[in-house]
């Protein structure tokens, strides 16, 4: 019995285009950080951005907000503590949990990333009008919601 070959149209599928675009953005963002002498990764910048908005957040909540598993976040936070960007404090309410805080050094580094991030955003959005940008964001939200709904059904 011969199996029927399934053909995936990668060229006209959203997934490969999303993936390659994310890799391009990541590459150019890291290059920009490096060329400006900022010792940070995209993942560290996301943590600093989150803490800038919600300082003192529980480490488990931070893992959820940054879409990281607990062990990879713990490794990332250890590196960031070594750079004095963040500090972890044992929770008073539950000694098993840590609260994560941005340090003054972390806040300075995060502030230094903002114009670089804006530069990358300007490059990304060049030639895309507001209407197309809005539609693109709506579609990306739909994709994210599709995955959230799938997870909720499990």
- Domain containing residue 103: CATH number: 1.10.10.10
Residue 112 lies in a domain: yes
pTM given for the model: 0.84
Q: Which domain holds residue 48?
A: 32-124
Q: What is the pLDDT of residue 3?
A: 65
In angstroms and rounded to an integer, the radius of gyration of the C-alpha atoms of the chain is: 19
The confidence band for 2, taking pLDDT boundaries of 50, 70 and 90, is: low
Give yes or no for a contact between 65 and 57, defined as CB atoms under 8 angstroms apart.
Answer: yes
Residue 92 lies in a domain: yes
The confidence band for 133, taking pLDDT boundaries of 50, 70 and 90, is: very high
Q: Domain tally for the chain?
A: 1
Residue 97, C-beta contacts closer than 8 angstroms, at least 6 positions apart? 58, 59, 60, 90, 91
* pLDDT at position 152 over 90: no
Give yes or no for a contact between 103 and 85, defined as CB atoms under 8 angstroms apart.
Answer: yes
**What is the per-residue pLDDT across 39-81, written as a single tens digit (0 to 9) for each?**
999 999 999 999 999 999 999 999 998 989 999 999 999 999 9
């Amino acid at each position: 019995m011969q199996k029927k070959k399934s053909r995936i149209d990668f060229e006209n599928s959203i997934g490969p285009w999303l993936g390659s675009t994310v890799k391009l953005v990541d590459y150019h963002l890291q290059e920009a950080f490096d060329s400006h002498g900022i010792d940070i990764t995209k993942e560290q910048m996301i943590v600093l951005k989150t803490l800038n908005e919600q300082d003192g957040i529980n480490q488990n909540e931070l893992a959820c907000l940054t879409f990281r598993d607990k062990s990879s976040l713990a490794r990332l936070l250890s590196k960031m503590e070594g750079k004095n960007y963040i500090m972890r404090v044992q929770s008073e309410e539950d000694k098993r949990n840590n609260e994560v805080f941005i340090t003054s050094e972390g806040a300075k580094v995060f502030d230094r990333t903002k114009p670089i991030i804006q530069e990358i955003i300007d490059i990304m959005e060049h030639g895309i009008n507001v209407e197309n940008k809005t539609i693109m964001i709506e579609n990306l939200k739909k994709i994210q919601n599709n995955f959230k709904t799938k997870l909720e059904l499990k």
